[in-house]
Amino acid sequence: MRKVAFKTLAASAVAAIFASGAYGGAVLAPDSDEELRPTGKGWGERAQPGHANPHGSPNTNGISYHGGPLILGTTNVYYIWYGNWSGNTANNILTDLASSIGGSSYFNINTSYYDGNNMSVSNSVHYAGSTPDSYSHGTALSDSAVQGVVSDAITSGRLPKDTNAVYFVLTSSDVNETSGFCTQYCGWHTHGTISGSDIKYSFVGNPDRCPSACEAQTTGPNGNAGADGMASIISHELEEAVTDPDLNAWYDRRGEENADKCAWTFGTTYTVANGALANMKLASRDYLIQRNWVNASGGYCSVSY
């Protein structure tokens, strides 16, 4: 996801991103009528001729199913802590998030999405483990290097090979992602073939690298602005990954996936002891997490379903 539709930067930021053509070389202006498919980075690109949404059909909820698989049953979450995270409370904050988001009324929004057999996403997430990676691919990661980080963790046996999972590459604030972290997106998700299996993974950088672009507030509810910002971005990518893991399931005609439609909107907030805003409590922690699109009742952004 990238930070758009937030504060007053939104319109110019969207125009700049759509004009840049940084992905697919065919990124269209927002007023185009042509259907787009998702890139996983929060904006659409032109579908290849002959591959344009073969199963796509509009429904009444503002988002459409395009025939691809969803992640069904319990979704496993793995973290790869890339770079230097020593002494950072992010590990506790984000492990707690992955351990408590399943079963919440927030994640339950994803149960409004289903596949061609009418099988719906489950409100079940399991935090399945983590591994450190001390700069194996340096401090400037390309998209393919991110997949390399995931591949290395699996092929070395540090993490299991799991096709019902999302692997998050979480980078410390001294690490860049050179395809556009902080300028085009704050995180993204995609999939790739690793050891012969379709593996879903996501990049989420530490937004302390660029607070004005990727943090909703500079004091987070858990006292760690970077990790609190990542909690919102991880949640966004996770809900997109379960409803559109291979970028061919649920998205709208602009190529926006469920969470993209509500990016950087939070609904009703409250203030916690340190002055930060929050909008939900998961287990013992408060978080400020962007809303997600409910695929029911005409479609709407919400923090619960």
**Residues in touch with Zn ion (CB under 5 A):** 1, 42, 260
Contact residues for 278 (Cβ-Cβ < 8 A; gap 6+): 221, 269, 270, 271, 272, 286, 287, 288
Residue placing its CB nearer to Zn ion in the complex, 199 or 259: 259
Considering the complex, what minimum distance in angstroms separates the CB of residue 247 from Zn ion? 11
Residue placing its CB nearer to Zn ion in the complex, 133 or 257: 257
**Chain CA centroid to CA 295, Å:** 18
Residue placing its CB nearer to Zn ion in the complex, 42 or 221: 42
Task: Give the Å distances, CA to CA, from 231 to 6, 198, 223.
Answer: 17, 25, 13
Considering the complex, what minimum distance in angstroms separates the CB of residue 292 from Zn ion? 10
Considering the complex, what minimum distance in angstroms separates the CB of residue 42 from Zn ion? 4
Considering the complex, what minimum distance in angstroms separates the CB of residue 248 from Zn ion? 15
Alpha-carbon distance of 42 to 24, in angstroms, equals: 13
Residue placing its CB nearer to Zn ion in the complex, 256 or 286: 256
Residue placing its CB nearer to Zn ion in the complex, 128 or 247: 247
Considering the complex, what minimum distance in angstroms separates the CB of residue 15 from Zn ion? 18
Residue placing its CB nearer to Zn ion in the complex, 45 or 260: 260
By Cβ distance, which residue is nearest to Zn ion? 1
Place of tokens 């980075």: 41
Contact 215, 221 (CB under 8 A): no
Contact 189, 202 (CB under 8 A): yes
Considering the complex, what minimum distance in angstroms separates the CB of residue 172 from Zn ion? 22
Angle at 165 between CA 190 and CA 135, to 5 degrees: 65
- The torsion of the CA quartet 66, 71, 77, 80, rounded to 10 degrees, works out to -50
Paired tokens of 171: 């980078």
